[in-house]
Copies of this chain bind each other. A is one copy, B any other.
Amino acid sequence: MLDRIRIVLIGTSHPGNIGGTARAMHNMGLADLALVAPRCEPLTSETISRASGADTIVHGARRAETLEQAVADCTLVVGASARSRTLPWPMITPRTLGARLPKELSGAESRVALVFGREDSGLSNAELQRCHAHVHIPTNPDFSSLNLAAAVQVLAYECRLAWLAQQEEPEGSEAEPNQPMASHEELEHYFGHLERTLIAIGFHDPALPRQLMARLRRFTLRARPERMELNILRGILTATEKQVASAQDGPRHESDDSDTPSP
């Protein structure tokens, strides 16, 4: 899907923005860049510096004199635009654009172009009117002009998310490689051990519970402890009990509750 998305830059003035665009594209898995009538030399040391290794995309870029040439084979052309224009046009958000991409790009010959205008003046009305729709990146109304490469970054990011969703990669999954979680029984043993220890150190009086154990339960359960973490916590309790025994008895006793795994 991503290989059918073309980024089109019209009349770019700053080589650094071309380099930054190439980097943003490559980061997000896009590779098809078209430069329409650039107003600078596209490949300078600044391009290469900002591209940070993605300058191959600039080397391979299509060159065109007009928008029409650059998007001739595209089945959907979307222009990046500020919100207000004299002639209202279908306006979509970047997120809506992303949501539409999988369907738009399902055909073998389908191509989507995302078109970005000049740093100083954006896209002309004529260019905007060659687009199927306009996409507006929501910005602070008091400071709405995005850097060109930053605008490309945001739309390329939405393209990648749409592609990932299509791959059915789980979103927001935790990074943990399935450490065994503590079982209910292990948790209850821990809470019992915790309460005995808190009584032993004089922190907890079962006659005046003040919801202490309830609060500690809620806190601990919220974290969804792994078994190994619970073992650490029980090891701490056992070490604490040894201190209590030394403090009270002089000659130390091991605690009776010696069902504690070592950490």
Contact = CB atoms under 8 A, between A and B. Distances in A.
Interface residues of A, number: 84
A84 B164 CA distance: 18
A106 interface: no
Interface string A145-167: 11101100110010011001000
Contacts of A228: 215
Given A154-B153, A240-B240, A174 B90 contact: yes
A7 to B, nearest CB: 14
Nearest to A81: B175
A201 interface: yes
A140 B28 contact: yes
A198 interface: yes
A38 interface: no
A100 to B, nearest CB: 10
B171 A96 contact: yes
A146 B27 contact: yes
Given A27-B139, A138-B161, A250-B251, 8 more contacts: A24-B147, A27-B140, A28-B140, A52-B145, A54-B143, A203-B239, A219-B223, A243-B247
